[in-house]
Amino acid sequence: MHSGDYLAQQFESHRTHLRTVAYRMLGSVSEADDAVQESWLRLSRSDTSDVDNLRGWLTTVVARVSLDMLRSRTSRREEPLGPQVPEPIISREDEVDPEHEALLADSVGLAMLVVLETLNPAERLAFVLHDMFGVPFDEIAPLVDRSPAAARQLASRARRRVRGAPDPDPDLDRQREVVDAFLAAARAGDFDALLEVLDPDVVFRVDAGARPLPAGAARELRGAEAVVKQARIFSRGVRFARPVLVNGAMGVVVAPPGRPPLAVAGFTVSGGKIVEIDVLADRARLRELDLTVGDD
């Protein structure tokens, strides 16, 4: 077999792993695919004759590429108007796309990705590589221009943030019951019923990009009563919500008939209550998503 063909075959055998690393680093499937493609280009231009562990070498390369992309994203991003909701993975309720199964493993739900978005690029790399993929700190250190001890501290700071992410209920049927109850209460304007399904400390976030929200609406809220008040403002759109899986958990796509989707909402249900609602309503970013899975 030609050496180039063999190299390509070896790379393909690691592609799923590399996409998984890049998605956790970047919170975007499209950007993860770009990072994987750049990793292939770097591999094809490199002499790897002395590389004993190609998987480890490629993991380092895709992490470095992702780190550069995160830093570039941070440098060109203006002061955000509100919370940054990562690019969600949308699936039908009855099945997760096999191509996305690995990306969604290890409970990397939307709530976890939202927390990862709050980390600086070096913290995110140290946490993702060490805590999620077991890369030792002496291999992480050169990527972030730190000593191994300093890389350990980066991961430790990130870990303290991540511990605050809620632990979702694993039972999808139970999640569906709670989300259905929320939607029914919102459609009926039954705000007492809404309070019943919301955790007292529920967090609501909406990423609408630069688009202004309706009068009286907020981009981030904490507390059940505040979220119920916000639900009054958005109640008209709830009738167009159809259930989907958002990063493997219950969520909805809001799309009036014959019109582009208005939003994707991911619900984090823990202890039988909704503890987080993360809404992506940035129309430019919504256009990049495959939302046909929610169609009847």
Q: Which of 4-13, 66-75, 93-102 has the lowest mean pLDDT?
A: 93-102
Contact 139, 227 (CB under 8 A): no
Look at residue 167 and tell me whether its pLDDT is greater than 60.
yes
Q: What is the DSSP letter of 77?
A: P
Nearest one of 37, 5, 3 to 18, comparing CA atoms: 37
For residues 189 and 130, membership in a common domain is answered with no
Give the pLDDT score at 107: 53
**Residue 225: domain span:** 172-294
55/202 same-domain check: no
pLDDT-based confidence at 1, cuts 50/70/90? very low
Residue 196: inside a domain = yes
Residue 225 belongs to a domain with what CATH number? 3.10.450.50
Residue 78 has pLDDT above 70, yes or no: no
Same domain, 151 and 286: no
Q: CATH number, domain at 42? A: 1.20.140.160
Res. 137: pLDDT tops 60: yes
Give me the torsion for CA of 227, 229, 230, 233, rounded to 10°. 160
In three-state secondary structure terms, 279 is: strand
- Measured CA to CA, the distance from residue 261 to residue 211 in angstroms comes to 15
102 is a domain residue = no
Number of domains forming the structure of the chain: 2
In the predicted structure, residue 21 carries a pLDDT above the cut 70: yes
Pair 70, 32 in one domain: yes
Which of 189, 190, 176 lies closest to 272, judged by CA?
176
Decide if 99 is inside a domain: no
* Alpha carbon distance, N-terminus to C-terminus of the chain: 47
70 plus 137 within the same structural domain? yes
Residue 26 lies in a domain: yes
Pick the closest to residue 207 from 263, 151, 274, 141 (CA basis): 263
Same domain? 15 vs 132:
yes
| Domain-located, residue 105 | no
Task: Give the confidence band of 2 by pLDDT, cuts at 50, 70, 90.
Answer: very low
Query: Most confidently modeled of 14-23, 76-85, 161-170?
Result: 14-23
The CA–CA distances, whole Å, from 105 to 39, 280, 284, 291 equal 22, 22, 27, 21
Q: What is the pTM of this model?
A: 0.84
The answer to whether residue 290 is domain-embedded is yes
d(C-alpha 104, C-alpha 100), whole Å: 6
End position of a domain, from candidates 162, 193, 227? 162
Structural domain includes residue 93: no
- Secondary structure string (H, E, C) spanning 86-111: CCCCEECCCCCCHHHHCCCHHHCCHH
50-54, 103-107, 220-224: which has the minimum mean pLDDT?
103-107
Residue 134 scores a pLDDT above 90: yes
Answer yes or no: do 74 and 143 share one domain: yes
For the segment 71-90, the average pLDDT, to the nearest whole number, is 76
Q: Are residues 158 and 178 in the same domain?
A: no
* Domain identity same for 17 and 155: yes
Same domain, 276 and 181: yes
